[in-house]
Copies of this chain bind each other. A is one copy, B any other.
Amino acid sequence: VLRTEEIGRMAGLSRSRVIEAGDVVMEEGSVADAVVTVGSGMLKLYRTLPDGRRMITGFATSGDVVGLAAQGNYVYSAEAVTASRVCRTARASLDGMAADNPAVQGRMFAITAADLTAAQDQILMLGCKSATERVCTFLRAMARRGGKDESLPTAYLPMMRQDVAEYLGLRLETLSRVFRRLKDAGLITLLDKTRVRLDDPDRIAALASGAERLGSDN
């Protein structure tokens, strides 16, 4: 999951399918016979426990490559959270290219290495951070991605609250409550269902790192 149009392009950008929100592109446990490159939209990647508990391990957006690290079988599922354009590249053809072209190999390695770093960021977050810290960390990360429409950074969150909660290792009620407290403190504005503006990026950053506490005592 990293910006790279190259792999799709190298594969000739063969068939670029358009899919709808809710469509499952990849299923945990099934044979990893292809990788998926995201052209537009957003996918959620998740793993499931036998009893149904889930954890979203990441969101893939334009340019991201999904399922590259799979050896044999996919280790996570991928589902569209918005209408998306995706491109399947057969594993065989990818491996073929990799064998010939060391640059492709290197690219695949770099993508996987970056994914590993991201995964470890999430480990650090899940293991150490409080609910407020997690939410603020997430908002900052998403605001960085989405760019800043206005002068203030704005996070684009097309996925459901439930998905955000599952990514942060929280219940959606808790997420909702944190949003409310951030809103009450004047730190964020919920522009609409999918856009959250960070009105005070510095304090959000402080909250994300745990440097500041969101006391009800203002």
Contacts and interface: CB of A to CB of B under 8 A. Distances in A.
Contact of A117 (B49, B69, B123, B169): B69
A169 B126 contact: yes
A124 B51 contact: no
Residues of A contacting B: mostly: helix
Q: Copies of this chain, how many? A: 2
A114 B55 CA distance: 19
A215 interface: no
A57 interface: yes
Nearest to A126: B126
A99 B99 CA distance: 12
Chain A residues touching B, range: 35 or more
Given A54-B128, A57-B124, 9 more contacts: A49-B129, A53-B210, A55-B127, A71-B114, A102-B105, A105-B106, A105-B109, A112-B116, A126-B127
A54 B106 CA distance: 31
Given A55-B128, A124-B49, A75 B117 contact: yes
A188 to B, nearest CB: 22
Contacts of A76: 120
A69 to B, nearest CB: 4
A50 interface: yes
